[in-house]
Chains A and B, each alone.
Chain A
Amino acid sequence: MTTKTIELDIRGQVCPSCLLLTLREINTHHADLSAGRLSLVVLTDSRDATGTIPAAAKNMGLAAQLDKVEEYYRVIIARPEERL
């Protein structure tokens, strides 16, 4: 069960910082994310990152859910078994 959430707000940053910073965060916390102790919430307004971040998360054995929040997007990354 997920006990902790980290929020990464990368709205307004220049491409491809969104993907780079998310990858860095996933790598730093991969053990906790895979074990279900942590979920990562990414806020982005890069339309491209809404596709590349979930694809990268999937490649790293994690699941991602995309939601539109007002004028930006929220990507929730956690282990596949978690209900996002």
Chain B
Amino acid sequence: MTSMEFSPQTIDFTAIMPIIIISAGILVTLLLPFAAKGRAKIINPLVALIVLLAAFISSARIWDLGRASFDGMYTADNATLFASFIFIIVAFITVIAITARYCPFLRSPDGEGLFASPEVFPLMLTVVVGAIVMSASRNLILTFLAIETLSIPLYVLAGMNLSSERSKEASLKYFLTGAFASGFLAYGISLIYGAVGKLGYHAILDACSPTAADYTLYAGLALVAVGFGFKVALVPFHAWVPDVYQGSPALISGFMASLVKAAGFTAILRFFGEGIVPLYGIWWVAIAIIAALTMTVGNLMALNQIVLKRLLAYSSIAHAGYLLLAVLIIGKEWSEKGVTAGAPLGDAMQCAFFYLAGYVFAIIGSFAIIWWLTPSDKEGALLEIDDVRGLNDRHPLHAALFALFLFSLAGFPITAGFLGKFFLFASALSHGFILLVVFALLNAVLSAYYYLKIIVAMYMKSAPEHASLCEEPSPNPWIYAVVWTCTLATLWLGIIPASILGLLGSVSVGG
């Protein structure tokens, strides 16, 4: 960022077109219920889907162009665009699945209209805007605003199941921890501003010098890292995750576990890779320790969980630990080579994005299956491993797809999870993080235990004597949209990874 002088010429509207389109969609979906009264229940989701499609197309149109707007504060480089594709697809399938229960004529006979209010759609679109800006931002002001744009609607979405006490509790817990974390983030940013005088990543990069210690800057960076850690649930700051994921409606949990984690990691990769990479020698130890802790605690806590949603929540914490490896690799790679604008992403960034793509579809698929099995979310929060015993005899398709997603999360071959872990660990090995990779592999073995426990219960145990919670899964055909998209993506990434890797090969850091 050269200067703060602001002139209209520096705004590149093609770069921010996806944001403009989705923002317009937010206004329309917000105001439409007043105009269209009853019909809004049908029109609203339709508008949301059209808007997401338009945003997808307008993002695809600027692929490879490396556009930037607002004096480089907002970069629509290919890394951003790849991340926004993931966000938009996730939001698209979630909107379809939510619509299934929400529209009167689409609602299944047993559906009880969980999302009785049309506010779901503007809120979800706002989350997508926040996520895209988070991955595009190269300025701490913008990053902070994007994180809040993403978080505040999610506090509401977590409590969207109006009849459930657990949903309210999840909302309250998410809000209190999230707002607490933003306090830290903002204080950290203020200290960085005090030390550097600017908030653009380039300015911070120039100001970071590994030789002259600036403790104001270090304190600021530590606090910002704490703020980020809360948002993506790294270990000392993970306590809210299981409660929030268990209490929220299952699809919203899936939305949070996939989209928010992906957005958080793209923001972290950008900040650590483009902002404070000269200080790599100082932060790598802290990040390595946090990575090891996050994997281990996540997996150990998941071992004896009996509620499925909590188990998946802890497993998502463990996955955040694996993903931190990518931050280390990028830090090492770029601190040696130096960041140059327009340079293709290293293979570290490639495998980080590949891992994210694989993880996102597996986790949202798993939550969708839970949603599918329990027509009422009140019970979804209580679905235990015992309840899915013998699921294969009762609902073979559900069991098979759930098993596929769990295999992908565990990292078994022919799924995306396997290749994601393979690329990530191989890249970490080649960059010399041997101890950490050994640790991560041990953790992967450990995690297989609890994923397999569910699969064993589904396939090798007899159905429980007492009435199971998932006796009658929702017959709604629209949930197929989510489940089949995730299945397709998981297998596609697992079997023909070259197609996505080729796409990622052309991903570069914009100038």
A, B in one complex: no
